[in-house]
């Protein structure tokens, strides 16, 4: 690995660890981080049913950073779950998994007593950002 890439990765991990330490106990009470989607085709107001960016390399890299900033604290670094929340590498690939992914990322999840266990991201990050995260996760897909 090039030193600069290594140094950047090291800093990213260090920052995430610091973040994790302060945020892990504050479930459901998380500040969404903006995701810059410059370089992706804009999608307009209508919600897409299927991932418009599938296999798009730009979407994978934008999605990777969007995931690490917004989802990793619960779903695990590099999408490898530490057991706090489901392992998102196992989500169905392709159209079959798109609908469930969008349902969860837009609406979040609550326990039956109404406690938020995953925040809703609709209105906080763009549709483009959501599909970029989906594209990243598909690139990490793992068989059960």
Binding site for ligand HEC (CB under 6 A): 27-28, 30, 70-71, 73-75, 85-86, 88, 91, 101, 104-105, 109, 117-119, 121, 133
Least Cβ distance, residue 72 to ligand HEC (angstroms): 8
Alpha-carbon distance of 61 to 59, in angstroms, equals 6
Alpha-carbon distance of 30 to 144, in angstroms, equals 29
Least Cβ distance, residue 23 to ligand HEC (angstroms): 8
Between 77 and 109, CB nearer to ligand HEC: 109
Least Cβ distance, residue 47 to ligand HEC (angstroms): 15
Between 58 and 120, CB nearer to ligand HEC: 120
Between 33 and 58, CB nearer to ligand HEC: 33
Dihedral of CA atoms 33, 12, 3, 1 in degrees, nearest 10, equals -90
Between 51 and 70, CB nearer to ligand HEC: 70
Between 1 and 143, CB nearer to ligand HEC: 143
Q: Tally Cβ neighbours within 10 Å of residue 16.
A: 16
Least Cβ distance, residue 28 to ligand HEC (angstroms): 5
Is 12 within 8 Å of 68 (Cβ atoms)?
yes
């Amino acid at each position: 690995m090039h030193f600069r890439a290594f140094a950047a990765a090291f800093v990213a991990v260090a920052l995430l660890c610091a973040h994790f330490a302060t945020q892990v106990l504050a479930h459901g009470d998380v500040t969404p981080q903006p995701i810059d989607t410059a370089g992706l085709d804009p999608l307009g107001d209508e919600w897409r049913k299927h991932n418009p960016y599938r296999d798009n390399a730009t979407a994978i890299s934008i999605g990777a950073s969007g995931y690490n900033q917004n989802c990793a604290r619960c779903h695990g670094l590099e999408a490898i779950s530490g057991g706090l929340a489901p392992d998102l590498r196992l989500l169905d690939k392709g159209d079959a998994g798109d609908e469930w992914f969008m349902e969860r990322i837009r609406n979040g999840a609550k326990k039956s007593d109404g406690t938020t266990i995953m925040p809703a991201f609709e209105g906080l990050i763009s549709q483009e950002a959501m599909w970029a995260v989906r594209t990243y996760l598909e690139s990490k897909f793992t068989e059960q």
